[in-house]
Amino acid sequence: RSDAEQHSAWIRTVSRISSGYTELNQGNVVEALRCFSQVRDPRITSNFILHWRWRLHAQLGMTEARLQAGEIGDAHREADDVLATALTAADPAMRSLAWEMKSRVARAENDFDGARICIDRALAILDRFDFPVAAWQVNRTAWDLYAHLGDRERANGHHARAKELIL
C-alpha cells in the first residue's frame, strides 16, 4: 500500500514508547532513554498524524527516566518542556499529565509548595474533563504528595479516587 510507511512509523513509535516504559520498569534507565529519544529524533521517527501527541508521551517518559536516574535538573528541564508543549495543545488529558509530572519533579526538588500547586492544577483540569487514565495517575500522585505533607484526609480521598478509577 502507498501509505504503509506512515502506518509503520506509528507502529514503531508506539513500540518504542512501550519498550521505553518496559525498560524503565526493569530499571534499565539508559535503554529507556534511548527508546524515548528515538521517538523525539526526526531522523529516526518521521512525522505522521498525531505524532506531536506521541512525542509528548516520549517526553513524559524521558522525564520519568531522569527522575529514576536521580538527574533532577534534567528532569526539571524535560518537565518544563513537556508542560510548555502540552499547554499549547488542545488536549486536556496531556495538560493534566504534564502538570502531574511537573508536580513529581518539584517534589523531587523538595519544593512541596510547587508540587502542591502543580498537582492542584492537574486536578482542576480533571474536574472539567473525564479522562480515567490520566485521572488515576494524577490522583495517585496527589495521594502520595498529600500523605507526605501529612494531610491524611486529602490523601485518603485521592487514594480512594485512584483505586476507583483503576477498578
> For every one of its 167 residues, what pLDDT tens digit does the chain have, with 9 covering 90 and above?
556 665 687 788 888 999 999 999 999 999 999 999 888 877 776 676 677 788 888 999 999 999 999 999 999 999 999 999 999 988 999 999 999 999 999 999 999 999 999 999 999 999 999 888 899 999 999 999 999 999 999 999 999 999 998 88
Q: Which residue type does 106 have?
A: A
Q: How far from 87 is each of 16, 59, 90, CA to CA, in Å? A: 24, 14, 8
Q: Which residue type does 23 have?
A: E
DSSP reduced 3-state for 141: helix
Q: Which three cell numbers stand for residue 144?
A: 502520595
Model pLDDT, residue 48: 65
pTM of the model: 0.88
Tell me which residue of 73, 130, 131 sits closest to 106, measured CA to CA: 73
Model pLDDT, residue 5: 63
Model pLDDT, residue 7: 67
